[in-house]
Amino acid sequence: MSAFVVTGTDTGIGKTVFSAALTGALGAHYWKPVQSGLADGADKDSVASLAAVPAARIIPEAYRLTEPLSPHRAAELDGVSIDPDVLVLPEVRPLVVEGAGGALVPLTREVTYADVFAEWGLLTIIVARTSLGTINHSLLTIEALRARRVPIHGVAFVGEANEDNEATICEMGKVHRLGRLPVLPALAPETLSDAFARGFNLEDFT
């Protein structure tokens, strides 16, 4: 059964929305190991509402940190020490694991998410914008993951169609283009599920 890590080229690019779409499409379990920022609710709550999977398939975080900052700094402000060894993958399948921000976001002052992804060895999906700046951010992310021998499953784009940007990233980065989620004017389980079905091939994830 399938298990994927979802990472991004940056923060606020639609990684959680894509994770919800993939979780719903696979009927998967969802886990965000570290949640930074609680004032606006946790990402697992957004996924639970958008993916329409049973509540038991939303796995609690290993760490919940107050401030919406990089986990290493949010943990310091909360007086918490993140132990990467605690971040043991759940054995349930199918499984979608969501990182925070970009692949090189630090969990501690010595360990990044990409380092942990390498330990896990799961196929990793890069979520990227389609707009200006995405080529640089995406190719840097691909290089950073490959340097750590993280297996890259492909790139999922979020935004308005930009065929040249998407093709350039996939050709130069030698990665598979998984598909694209458009910006949805009304974000709901039905609209998200429909957009995922139109923009992606489910066989790429099974």
Catalytic annotation present for 32: yes
Name, in order, each residue with C-beta under 8 angstroms of 90's C-beta and a sequence gap of 6 or more. Answer: 29, 31, 59
Per DSSP bridges, beta strands 177-181 and 63-65 are unpaired
| Spatial distance between the Cα atoms of 200 and 111, rounded to a whole number of angstroms | 33
Gyration radius of the chain over CA positions: 16
Name, in order, each residue with C-beta under 8 angstroms of 94's C-beta and a sequence gap of 6 or more. Answer: 1, 2, 3, 26, 27, 28, 29
The helix/strand/coil state of 23 is helix
Residue with tokens 């283009």: 177
| Spatial distance between the Cα atoms of 131 and 27, rounded to a whole number of angstroms | 30
Say which of 15, 32, 44, 174 is annotated catalytic.
Answer: 32
Backbone angles phi, psi at 89, to 5 degrees: -60, 135
* Contact criterion met (CB below 8 Å) for 161 and 180: yes
Active site residues: 32
